[in-house]
Structure 1
């Protein structure tokens, strides 16, 4: 099923990401998550992050996590994994992550919890995921294999997780197709003003020397000028990567159709705004997420 025109579809896919992302991404900032991972035996924030996000993969070699996470420096992942699995298990971490999401959503959504709007949004978001194929989407596939929660707010959170990992796998494919590595992807985002270097460096594990090497590589490609500012070619490349990412993220929205897709965003937008306004996600943030 197709809706709108081609450009409108791409624009909608991007709007859908920025609208739904807060419903998922709160798990990376919620104190409930940090406490849950500590209680599960994990040591420190980043061990909790890498173990919890990769737990559906199982206790796989660190190289597999590096491949699917893409824009984190491999050594940053290697400091957390596989050591995390000597303190806890993937099954336990999956369980406590869901419990943490439950607690955080109850705190951040307050009176909205249990509303008809949340229930309707949850069912629409779940239906959207039925339009997603696992083929070529390794991280999405492993989340798609998890059982669905029962309560509506957790169904919405899980669906938002599936949709963002589906999009994320497509974004990795778009970057690979343009020959842009993990660090260069961040330099490109900083050049476009979507996030600052000060926010991205400590949260993705690249050091100053590696950052400068990425700048030099992009200067040789004509993507940055001699002053390190993004060029017209750089802006064009960024636009093409974003368009390709949006295109690869279209299947769930084409499956849901125009009317139900717009209804889902209409329902989710006030939830996401509430999450952000109550500090559930910092602004600015490492994802480059704007306000919905």
Structure 2
């Protein structure tokens, strides 16, 4: 790996902040304005749109970590209100608008074009094999406007990493809901109170936690065992390793420049608050 694991992981932190602006209030309102009933309609329409008119079963498989039936409550219903092409446009406009709103004068920075160029070079150079969502995104036109281009690049890099992460979860026998339980424990949150799974039936969550406990990953008191903590850490390191080839196209100096340019943008962004 030509770039250090620390720098690759730092890129993950930066693109996560920028890419997840998609799930914030401004894009949500843009989707509601074109007929989406709630936050999750817009979420699935926007994020699944690069896959085309894929059925709910395919979107469920690609997204990996949603409970059974959650995708089907929105797809294909959303495609009766908006086309995938329209959803892509709404998502891009709303996301870029949200970034501009939050970063203020940074949006007009003279160095933004250079950062957008570096981010895009990395984002379109990553290997697509086995990365269904990333491949769908890479088939889209790259926006010309710098803020939109930075968001698009961050989304590509985020989904490329996410596709690799899902493959590693599968290889280690960790299902989608199990992955959320492990994330909750890593954050010191009880699974029943964790945002992505708190709505699931308590009996279902109990079954998942009991299964992880039987595998020696969760302790009787509810926290990680040493084995569970080590497994999660190993998956995170391997995820960074699989994400690293995206940055091979950049020199050490260029990656340092990209990290430096994205840092103030990332720092200015607020984490999205999911609304129902």
TM-score scaled to structure 2, two decimals?
0.93
Is the alpha carbon distance of 1:201 and 1:56 closer, same or farther for their aligned partners in structure 2, counting shifts above 3 Å?
Answer: closer
Is the alpha carbon distance of 1:130 and 1:53 closer, same or farther for their aligned partners in structure 2, counting shifts above 3 Å?
Answer: closer
Structure 1 distance, partners of 2:230, 2:66, is: 24
Is the alpha carbon distance of 1:42 and 1:72 closer, same or farther for their aligned partners in structure 2, counting shifts above 3 Å?
Answer: same
Please list the CA deviations of residues 41-84 of structure 1 after superposition, one character each: whole Å capped at 9, or x if unmatched: 22111111111110111111101100111111131111111111
Contact 2:178/2:212, CA 8 A, preserved across alignment: yes
SS across alignment from 1:256: coil
Of residues 123, 132, 135 in structure 2, which corresponds to 1:138? 132
Of residues 85, 100, 116 in structure 1, which corresponds to 2:79? 85
Per-residue deviation, 1:202: 4.9
SS across alignment from 1:239: helix
Per-residue deviation, 1:39: 2.0
Per-residue deviation, 1:195: 5.7
Alignment coverage as a number of residue pairs: 273
Structure 1 distance, partners of 2:158, 2:139, is: 15
Structure 2 distance, partners of 1:192, 1:153, is: 33
Of residues 58, 64, 71 in structure 1, which corresponds to 2:52? 58
Contact 1:223/1:234, CA 8 A, preserved across alignment: yes
Contact 1:188/1:238, CA 8 A, preserved across alignment: yes
Ranges in structure 1 where 5+ consecutive residues have no aligned partner: 286-292
Contact 1:40/1:93, CA 8 A, preserved across alignment: no
SS across alignment from 1:250: helix
Ranges in structure 2 where 5+ consecutive residues have no aligned partner: none
- Match in the other structure for 1:281: 272
- Match in the other structure for 1:25: 20
Structure 1 distance, partners of 2:224, 2:189, is: 14
Contact 1:20/1:269, CA 8 A, preserved across alignment: no
Structure 2 distance, partners of 1:104, 1:129, is: 21
* 1:100 corresponds to 2:94: yes
Contact 1:131/1:255, CA 8 A, preserved across alignment: yes
* 1:199 corresponds to 2:198: no
Contact 1:183/1:206, CA 8 A, preserved across alignment: no
**Runs of at least 4 residues off by over 4 Å:** none
Please list the CA deviations of residues 214-252 of structure 1 after superposition, one character each: whole Å capped at 9, or x if unmatched: 111011110012222210000111111111111100001
Contact 1:131/1:256, CA 8 A, preserved across alignment: no
Structure 2 distance, partners of 1:129, 1:27, is: 17
